[in-house]
Structure 1
Amino acid sequence: MSLSSKVAANLPYLRRYARALTGSQASGDTFVRATLEAALADPALKASLADGRVPLYRAFTRFWSAQSADAGSASPEAKGREGAAQATLGAVMPLNRQALLLTTLEEFSPVHAGEILGIDAAEVERLVAEAVAEIDREAATNVLIVEDEPLISMQLEDLVKSLGHQVFGTAATRTQAQEAIANAMPGLVLADIQLADGSSGLDAVDDILSIGDVPVIFITAYPERLLTGDRPEPTYLVTKPFQERVVRTAISQALFFKSNTASA
């Protein structure tokens, strides 16, 4: 397999990580693209990408960390498409959340996550435990669940409640989602892509976002279809069948950015 093919196979998942890390599709995809451009200019870095996901994520992390360290002093014009607000948030992203995202959303082992972050596995495990403890202290919100499979919907309800949040409502179709927000807005949306009547969860979410700015996490069996970087795509994606700890992390990350944006 050629180098370009090897890198291309891992790019959708790097985009997923970058978007969750920065809280923005545009910002995350921009950093991924810039990482590849840096690799093209560095033969040694370029050659290392042939060895799989770990070197690719490590290259991204080093580039992102270097850029984020300069975010606070750079002018808005110099920050380009990622924007001043996103760059500032990126600059303060705690290492423990990076470790949590790598070991849950991206399913790296502590050893591999440590290679990516430049720390040992024991430190990764300590950081993950620290991040989970922080999640337990987060403020509660109301969650709208847009999911047409009754069993999955019930699983998500139980998970939301176990995290201390409230279930705002459930919807199996776009119409039901519209009805759910007729009189009030949720604080967070968990949405499937394909809904019961053939309608799209993407369209249902567009309806919601046309009324208010709400963080959204999509749960889909085919995440790579929404990680192309070629069009407007979701920021947060969880793969079906999902693990509860992955959904937990995605919820926390979405609320982290919502809280930081509100207080900025």
Structure 2
Amino acid sequence: MGMFEGKKGLILGVANDRSIAWAIAKFIMEQGGVCGFTHLPDKADDERKKNRRRVSTLTDEYPNNCKFLVPLDVQNDENIASVMALAKSEMGEIDFLLHSIAFATLDDLKRDTIETSREGFKLAMEISAYSLIAVCNHAKDILKPGGAVLTMTYFGGEKCVPGYNVMGICKAALEASMRYLAYDLGAKGVRVNALSAGPLKTLAGQAAGVGEMQFLYEEMAPLGRNVTHSEVGKTGAFLLSDMSDGITSEVLHIDGGYNAMGSPGRMLDKLKAAGK
């Protein structure tokens, strides 16, 4: 019997097979869980519906575990409400909700933070941080007591990571939002946490220069390597499962220990050996 047998929930934010949200959802479904999925809305003139197709290609492999796949625009409260109404009609109360949604324009990501545009800041903050508040507000009546909410963050919300720029500010706001939501939903017995993964090759990671960061983590992290999609998937599922009862308002790092380092560690030894 799988650890998610009899459990139902929502997965918000799968973009393709490299998405962290997919790694988590895949583990949940393989452990018996049933999921409702959302995808980024397709443009009206996109006859191929690329966003839906990328996700349906994945969910079609789990016909007994995928209840539905619908578009979600987190800037639209009516759309959020309709997704929650669908979840209620298809699954009743839900046990878990995964929020893996973030966005900033490429122009703003590539600029120094000090040059972030006003409109770009508003857009990035609304989608990357406020959306968690909006989604939880609309989901609060269908989340079971003892249920769990998980959002995805990154170390750039805690420390300055050049290149992460405006998204680091959004992640800081997201983590603060998570703590306040944990308090609000805690009265109902619902837990809210954030998972801070090391750099992985995802669509979002590519925009933030993940290749350079992976080299740095491999050289500096206590484990001397990068984490994998599978490892992040299992840890995310843990935070959405009964195995993590009693854990709320936490940012759990899964980064090989990189976040604990106060110096370059073994990387410094290599530099010294090279005479630098």
Confirm or deny a common fold (TM above 0.5). no
> As a proportion of its length, which structure holds more strand?
2
Alignment TM-score, normalising by the size of structure 1:
0.34
> As a proportion of its length, which structure holds more helix?
1
Alignment TM-score, normalising by the size of structure 2:
0.33
